[in-house]
């Protein structure tokens, strides 16, 4: 099986982050995969999760191809340490120096009693949609699947042991809903969020999804209509948690553990299998599951069922307001189901574009202003994200001052009129 070694790495400038490690040690020398029936079970489980692995995933070859490194990443002037177990190919693709993460806002949340759910995160002040709740580095990061010929309890014990005492105590205080593995592994499997890391272009590469446990964000409980969402930024090796709708002081801050557009029964089945609880959130407590399921399925399929914007612009058979009404209905369902996490802003963008194509100055300005206000509140992750926000702000200012500068301005009026006139001329020729 793969070897697990501690490797040395260079130190970056202290203001960003650097890596530390203990002296290299010899890892297991064999690369023998588990028995065939175990590999078959893992293959079936992994390929059943959409987007996790390619259909031809082979756990036996995956194990034979792995070689791991265990080390610490150290962040900030007031150092925070992350203990990582990574495939050596993945580790080599990480930057030598991480970018400095945005400063985490102060006094936005507290960890408190959440009743039957255990502990939870609660807002200590009112926060508008788009507000940044926290920025956090993970305490530990491990591959989604670990293929080693040493007991995993030993791997996790060593990994946890690399943390400073305070972080180690906090990590050990997280919940464990698993009874089928060691306690430390259970903590990771119960509390980890699935972050994405780049993998090398090789045969049988590591899975891009990795398990990351955070001392604060992992305290967030699940809701099928969450009021917050998290984004991962590899460049700073940090998670950004932000509000997707207004959150009131004292309100619990929740995230989604599973795809919220799935029917209620499927969500409950997944949550019970993976985390050992049955969701009793506000949205699961609503009496009519069928109506809620239909709304969520419609939202899941919305964009794939929708004709392209350009096609609507030239389709004279559909009413002018047809596409606007489709997006307004989607926004209504999003509000009804508490699914602002689905990026409701995209529908606002689309409505502004529709009114631009209709050359409706008043409505175009009104909806574009909504887009601009939303983007001003939004948390833009990473240097590239913040630069994109700056450029978009300049573009919105230009469109608001001169709507006709919008690239698709009046398309619906221009192309539909031309198309209808052409069809009318054709009909006349046929009659003649």
At 19 the pLDDT is 54
- Judge contact between 34 and 4, C-beta under 8 A: no
- Judge contact between 102 and 383, C-beta under 8 A: no
DSSP string, 257-287: SS-TTS-HHHHHHHHHHHHS-----TTTTSS
Element (H, E) at 75: strand 68-75
At 31 the pLDDT is 67
Q: Walk along the chain (432 residues) and give the pLDDT tens digit of each residue.
A: 444 444 333 233 343 455 555 433 333 334 678 899 999 999 998 998 888 988 899 999 999 999 999 999 999 877 899 999 999 999 999 998 999 998 899 999 999 999 989 999 999 999 999 999 999 999 999 999 998 877 899 999 999 999 999 999 999 999 999 888 899 999 999 999 999 999 999 999 999 999 999 999 999 999 999 999 999 999 999 999 999 999 999 999 999 999 999 999 999 999 998 898 999 999 998 888 999 999 999 999 999 999 999 999 999 889 999 999 999 999 999 999 999 999 888 999 999 999 999 999 999 999 999 988 887 777 777 777 778 878 888 888 999 999 999 999 999 988 886 444 444 443 333 332
Q: Which residues pair with 313 in a beta bridge?
A: none
Give Cα separations from 46 to 58, 198, 203, 273, 276 (angstroms): 10, 19, 18, 15, 19
* Strand pairing class (140-143; 119-123): unpaired
At 10 the pLDDT is 29
Instruction: Centre a 10 Å sphere on the Cβ of residue 73 and count the other Cβ atoms it contains.
Output: 21
pTM (2 d.p.): 0.86
The region that residue 382 occupies, defined by phi over 0 for left and psi between -120 and 50 for alpha, beta otherwise, is left
At 287 the pLDDT is 84
At 383 the pLDDT is 73
Q: How far is Cα 246 from Cα 131, in angstroms, rounded to an integer? A: 8
């Amino acid at each position: 099986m793969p070897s697990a070694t501690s490797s040395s790495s260079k130190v970056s400038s202290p203001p960003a982050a650097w890596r530390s490690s203990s002296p290299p040690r010899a890892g297991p020398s064999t690369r023998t995969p588990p028995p065939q029936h175990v590999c078959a079970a893992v293959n079936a489980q992994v390929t059943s999760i959409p987007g996790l692995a390619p259909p031809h995933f082979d756990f036996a070859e995956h194990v034979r191809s792995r070689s791991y490194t265990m080390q610490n990443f150290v962040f900030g002037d007031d150092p925070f340490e992350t203990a990582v177990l990574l495939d050596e190919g993945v580790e080599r693709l990480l930057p030598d120096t991480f970018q400095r993460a945005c400063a985490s806002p102060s006094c936005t949340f507290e960890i408190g009693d959440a009743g039957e759910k255990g502990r939870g995160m609660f807002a200590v002040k009112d926060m508008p949609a788009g507000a940044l709740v926290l920025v956090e580095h993970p305490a530990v990061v491990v591959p989604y699947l670990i293929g080693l010929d040493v007991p995993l309890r030993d791997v996790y014990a060593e990994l946890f042991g690399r943390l400073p005492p305070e972080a180690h105590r906090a990590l050990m205080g997280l919940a464990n809903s698993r009874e089928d593995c060691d306690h430390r592994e259970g903590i990771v499997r119960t509390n980890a969020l699935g972050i994405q890391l780049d993998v090398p272009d090789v045969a049988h590469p590591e899975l891009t999804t990795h398990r990351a446990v955070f001392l604060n964000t992992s305290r967030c409980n699940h809701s099928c209509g969450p009021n917050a969402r998290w984004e991962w930024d590899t460049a700073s090796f940090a998670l950004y948690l932000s509000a997707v709708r207004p959150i009131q002081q004292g309100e619990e801050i929740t995230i989604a553990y599973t795809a919220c557009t799935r029917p209620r029964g499927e969500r409950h089945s997944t949550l019970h299998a993976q985390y050992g609880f049955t969701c009793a959130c506000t949205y699961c407590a609503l009496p009519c599951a069928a109506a809620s399921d239909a709304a969520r399925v419609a939202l899941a399929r919305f964009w794939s069922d929708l004709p392209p914007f350009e096609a609507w612009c030239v389709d004279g058979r559909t009413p002018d307001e047809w596409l606007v009404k489709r997006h307004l209905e989607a926004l209504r369902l999003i509000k009804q189901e508490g699914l602002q996490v689905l990026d409701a802003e995209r529908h606002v963008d689309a409505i502004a574009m529709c009114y631009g194509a209709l050359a409706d100055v008043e409505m175009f300005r009104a909806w574009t202003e909504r887009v601009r206000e939303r983007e001003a509140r939004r948390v833009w992750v990473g240097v590239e994200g913040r630069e994109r926000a700056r450029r978009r702000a300049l573009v919105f200012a230009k469109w608001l001052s001169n709507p006709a500068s919008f690239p698709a301005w009046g398309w619906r009026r221009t192309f539909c009129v031309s198309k209808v006139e052409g069809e009318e001329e054709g009909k006349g020729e046929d009659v003649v």
